[in-house]
Amino acid sequence: MECYLDNAATTKPSEAVIDEMLKVLRTDFGNPSSKHRMGLDAEKYIRNTTEALAEALKCKPSEIILTSGGTESNNQALIGGALANRRAGTHIISTAFEHAAVYKPLEFLESQGFTVDYVGVDRMGHLDLDELKEKLKKDTVIVSVMLVNNEVGAVQDIEAVSKLVKSNNPATLLHVDAIQAFGKMKIIPAKQGIDMLSISGHKLRGPKGSGALYVRSGAKVKPYIYGGGQQHDMRSGTENVPAIAGFGVAVKDASSHLEEHRRSMFACKAALIARVLKLEGTHVNAVPGETLGYFEKAEPIAASGEYAGIPENIRKSLETTAPHIVSVSFDGIDRSEVLLHALEEEGVYVSSGSACSSNHPGLSGSLKAIGVEKELLNSTLRFSFSFDSTIDEVDYAGAALQKLLPVLRRFRVK
Amino acid sequence: MYRAFLIKYAEIGIKGKNRFIFENILKRNIANALAKLRDGYEISKEQGRVFIECPEGFDYDDTIEALQHVFGVAGICPVYVIDNIEFENLKKGVGDYVEQAYPDKNFTFKVEARRADKSYPVTSPEICAKTGAHLLDRFPEMKVNVHDPDVEFMVEVRNRGYVYSEVIPGPQGMPVGSSGKAMLLLSGGIDSPVAGWMIAKRGVTIDAVYFHAPPYTSERAKQKVVDLAKIVSRYAGPIRLHVVNFTDIQLYIYEQCPHEELTIIMRRYMMRIAEAIAEKRGCQALITGESIGQVASQTVESLLTTNAVCKLPVFRPVIGFDKQDIVEISQKIGAFETSIQPFEDCCTIFVAKHPVTKPILSVIEKSEKKLSEKIDELVEKALETVEVINVRW
């Protein structure tokens, strides 16, 4: 059985997405900037996708910039936002467990004269709001906070963050990296006090090379790609119409089935936690203790429908975390990569840390930030679901772990 | 402006009656290297040189680059061709060549000439003298120096005229295929590809073996070894890479033997398996990238202990090299960037914190007795399940 449980790295594009992209590649291949009909036909896809995003976020289409993906969105927001507001100040705040697509542009901004402060997180991966309050200054121009952490699935209380930021200085821009969040939870930037929001297409069964940045109208942000003036001068370059078209289909699917998707992913998450906690020497990260206590004793969850049977308070508690990410540390596993490859041989695909950072020999930043014990930092795997994940896959992965863990634990570096 | 190449070879030239064998192999290897670029190269050998033409035209830089990867090539001379060899035209042709090839004419020179066709009306010394005079007339900045010239122009007259003066260094060595076959123990590191390259440079055909230990070593680590074999194969010709699944053997040694002896015993089994595959493939030697003292398993005592299991000679061309010397060759042959990719190989897993550095053969042999129950069966299985990957540039 092939069991793809690395959906936080990327997802399998849906058939509808692929069909739409093929149609664009085969038929509507015009340049959207061309004045003739072929251009107009291509432009329609861009408008569709922009409108789908606007509808999902309850914002205006003019507040959407289409990008090549999450990394570009974050770079555009941070670099574009910092440069546009340089005169107002050079202070930026972020958190201790951001993705490289946030902290690398911030490092660049530091080299350009900005100062960046990082706020710590607790064991659940929640931002220390008191620390944030202390670090906010009158000249803080941007606060950047990840809505769902990519490695452990912690969800931030963005409204609380926004209240603090705006009461300190209403002009400070709040940027939210929602790459793991969009399509997995309801996000309404205007209501939540978000000025900029980064989205990636391939995390929600859309194509790679697609993404978007929401920028509240009135927020001062400079473009950082210059050229032919596409997308209201904010992002030059001929639009990647096939990817944008596929992205639009994925956005519509994700936003129109949000509740259904959340339920099915939470069912997978509950099933996996219940299975994993029955195995010896396992620790599930960034999930509330009372929930873990329940799942340690709970009966195995055999079908998606059984999720509703879990007591409401446990479900509520579980639903404070992201529906699609489960981070598990294993005692007695020296290198999680070995377990990863052993699972791979069984047809189970997961990630050690996050796929984006696992090329680095360094240890996981997020795990360290939430205080995972030193000896478990390198013994942690991430399982992640998408809309199409099933309890059968979870069971299969659980059985594979049960088989492999005792074998791998026999062989350790002495 | 260049329409042909003349290949000089050094060491083959001193061979006696076997020389034609070496020349034929070199010619074949050049043909194979150039065939990857395009059809239509014509390769002929004559009087201690190989001559390459491609009447339909060729890419100059690609051709040079391909030739610089053929062992046995000592120098590559780009040749200017003069079609009409009537003597006045020949002289003018040499002048045209100088005009184009040397924008700055402020240098000393000498002309050397050869006639293949002795009926050509001008003798070789006359060609030298008159062509030299023509050049002096045409380019007054140039000066003659017959003893120590800056540039030596070679003029050859056959059915056409050929002029050359530049010698681009080749990789030297002997043509691959001219001296036997050996099995390279290829890891993902810096040393073993260099060792393979050095032995191939002596004309030896290379096979390779890699010990893979899934899930402890990843597919990417294996791909890295395939990539390294490919880099070596650009010089050494096609390489048959044997991938041995070594996990069960390694784990069995781990369970049965003292931990600090794990690496040394593991290496003894690697040598045994490599030798078994080598014999099956008709190899007459093994090649390793060992260098004295580099790691615990490469002390003189360790080398003695691993060597003891082999009957075949083991070539260790980098044995006396410092790491930096090996790195320099690795960079020169274009393997370094690949070698330093950070993937674990089977030698870096389970390594004891304090492995034995001075193993005693009898002690190690005694430890290996603890493996007697299952090891033969495991080795047999490893040999039966070898995956063969044919690697070529």
The predicted complex's ipTM stands at 0.80
Residue B40: CB partners within 8 Å, gap ≥ 6? B54, B55, B56
Whether A333 and A365 have beta carbons less than 8 Å apart is answered as: no
Please tell me the least confidently modeled range out of B38-52, B189-203, B237-251: B38-52
pLDDT at B47: 73
C-alpha separations of B107 from A54, A170, B103, B165 in Å: 74, 75, 11, 13
List residues bridging with B49 in a β-sheet: B8, B46
pLDDT at A291: 95
For the cut 90, the answer to whether the pLDDT of residue B88 exceeds it is yes
Is B174 inside a domain boundary? no
Nearest residue of A to residue B350 by CA position? A413
**Cβ B350–A361 below 8 Å, yes or no?**
no
Q: Closest partner residue to B251 among A338, A339, A411, by Cβ?
A: A411
| Statement to judge: residues B190 and B161 lie in one domain | no
Q: Closest partner residue to A411 among B219, B344, B350, by Cβ?
A: B350
Strands A140-146 and A173-177: parallel
Residues of A with CB under 8 A from a CB of B: 335, 337-342, 344-345, 361, 410-411, 413-414
Peptide linkage before B103 cis (omega within 30 of 0): no
Quick: pLDDT tens for A283-308: 999 999 999 999 999 988 888 889 99
**Cβ A410–B259 below 8 Å, yes or no?**
no
Peptide linkage before B215 cis (omega within 30 of 0): yes
For the cut 80, the answer to whether the pLDDT of residue B16 exceeds it is no
**Cβ B216–A340 below 8 Å, yes or no?**
no
| Statement to judge: residues B159 and B185 lie in one domain | no
Domain containing B122 — which CATH number?
3.30.2130.30
Quick: pLDDT tens for A212-261: 999 999 999 999 999 999 999 999 999 999 999 999 999 999 999 999 99
Q: Which of A3, A59, A268, A356 is catalytic?
A: A356
Is B270 inside a domain boundary? yes
Is B356 inside a domain boundary? yes
**Cβ B216–A339 below 8 Å, yes or no?**
no
Q: Give the C-alpha separation, B235 to B239, whole Å.
A: 10
| Statement to judge: residues B319 and B208 lie in one domain | yes
Distance from CA of B96 to the nearest CA of A (A): 48
For the cut 60, the answer to whether the pLDDT of residue A363 exceeds it is no
**Cβ A411–B218 below 8 Å, yes or no?**
no
Strands B143-144 and B108-115: parallel
User: Which residue of B216, B255, B343, B356 to mutate against A (max A Cβ within 10 Å)?
Assistant: B216
Q: Closest partner residue to A345 among B215, B255, B349, by Cβ?
A: B215
Structure tokens, A273 = 């936690």
Residue A226: CB partners within 8 Å, gap ≥ 6? A236
Number of structural domains chain B divides into: 2
Phi and psi dihedrals of B114, rounded to 5?
A: -145, 140
**Cβ A341–B251 below 8 Å, yes or no?**
no
Structure tokens, B231 = 């880099």
Is B176 inside a domain boundary? no
| Statement to judge: residues B43 and B152 lie in one domain | yes
Residue appearing with tokens 């590809």: B193
**Cβ B216–A345 below 8 Å, yes or no?**
no
Q: Of B177, B184, B185, which Cα lies nearest the Cα of B201?
A: B177
Q: Which domains does chain A have, with CATH numbers?
A: 15-256 (3.40.640.10), 257-410 (3.90.1150.10)
Contacts of A335 in chain B (CB under 8 A): 344
For the cut 70, the answer to whether the pLDDT of residue B13 exceeds it is no
Find how far residue B281's CA is from the centre of its chain.
Answer: 21
Quick: pLDDT tens for B274-322: 999 999 999 999 999 999 998 888 999 999 999 999 999 999 999 999 9
Is B280 inside a domain boundary? yes
pLDDT classification of A269: cutoffs 50, 70, 90 = very high
The last residue of one of the domains, among B169, B198, B228, is B169
Q: Closest partner residue to A341 among B218, B254, B259, by Cβ?
A: B218
Q: Closest partner residue to A414 among B216, B218, B352, by Cβ?
A: B352
Distance from CA of B262 to the nearest CA of A (A): 11
Nearest residue of B to residue A407 by CA position? B251
pLDDT at A15: 98
Q: Give the C-alpha separation, A399 to A280, whole Å.
A: 13
Angle at A346 between CA A342 and CA A351, to 5 degrees: 55
Q: What is the span of the domain harbouring residue B234?
A: 181-391
Contacts of A361 in chain B (CB under 8 A): 342
Q: Give the C-alpha separation, B361 to B301, whole Å.
A: 9
Q: How many CB pairs under 8 A join A and B?
A: 32
| Statement to judge: residues B133 and B251 lie in one domain | no
For the cut 90, the answer to whether the pLDDT of residue A107 exceeds it is yes
Q: Give the C-alpha separation, B224 to B212, whole Å.
A: 12
Has A356 been annotated as catalytic?
yes
pLDDT at B348: 66
| Statement to judge: residues B197 and B123 lie in one domain | no
Distance from CA of A252 to the nearest CA of B (A): 37
**Cβ A338–B215 below 8 Å, yes or no?**
yes
For the cut 60, the answer to whether the pLDDT of residue A364 exceeds it is no
User: Which residue of A348, A359, A411, A412 to mutate against B (max B Cβ within 10 Å)?
Assistant: A411
Angle at A234 between CA A233 and CA A236, to 5 degrees: 70
Contacts of B344 in chain A (CB under 8 A): 335, 337
pLDDT at B347: 62
**Cβ B215–A410 below 8 Å, yes or no?**
no
User: Which residue of B346, B349, B351, B354 to mutate against A (max A Cβ within 10 Å)?
Assistant: B349
Contacts of A338 in chain B (CB under 8 A): 215-216, 349
| Statement to judge: residues B144 and B51 lie in one domain | yes
**Cβ B215–A340 below 8 Å, yes or no?**
yes
For the cut 90, the answer to whether the pLDDT of residue A83 exceeds it is yes
Quick: pLDDT tens for A342-361: 999 999 999 986 444 444 43
pLDDT at B158: 84
| Statement to judge: residues B120 and B67 lie in one domain | yes
pLDDT at A16: 98
Q: Give the C-alpha separation, A366 to A389, whole Å.
A: 25
What is the residue type of A255? S
Mean pLDDT of A370-389: 92
Contacts of A344 in chain B (CB under 8 A): 215, 219
**Cβ B215–A341 below 8 Å, yes or no?**
yes
Domain containing B349 — which CATH number?
3.40.50.620
Distance from CA of B247 to the nearest CA of A (A): 11
Contacts of A403 in chain B (CB under 8 A): none
| Statement to judge: residues B186 and B289 lie in one domain | yes
Mean pLDDT of A154-167: 98
| Statement to judge: residues B40 and B16 lie in one domain | yes
Distance from CA of B68 to the nearest CA of A (A): 35
Contacts of A410 in chain B (CB under 8 A): 251, 255
Distance from CA of B110 to the nearest CA of A (A): 58
**Cβ A341–B214 below 8 Å, yes or no?**
yes
Q: Closest partner residue to B259 among A341, A345, A414, by Cβ?
A: A414
Mean pLDDT of A357-374: 68
Is B24 inside a domain boundary? yes
Is B289 inside a domain boundary? yes
For the cut 70, the answer to whether the pLDDT of residue B244 exceeds it is yes
Contacts of A355 in chain B (CB under 8 A): none
Mean pLDDT of B347-370: 88
**Cβ B342–A414 below 8 Å, yes or no?**
no
Is B175 inside a domain boundary? no
In A55-91, which positions are buried (b, 16+ CB within 10 angstroms) versus exposed (e)?
ebbebeeebbbbbbbbbbbbbbbbbbbbbbbeebbbb
The last residue of one of the domains, among B146, B169, B192, is B169
Distance from CA of B293 to the nearest CA of A (A): 23
Whether B96 and B155 have beta carbons less than 8 Å apart is answered as: no
| Statement to judge: residues B230 and B120 lie in one domain | no
| Statement to judge: residues B88 and B210 lie in one domain | no
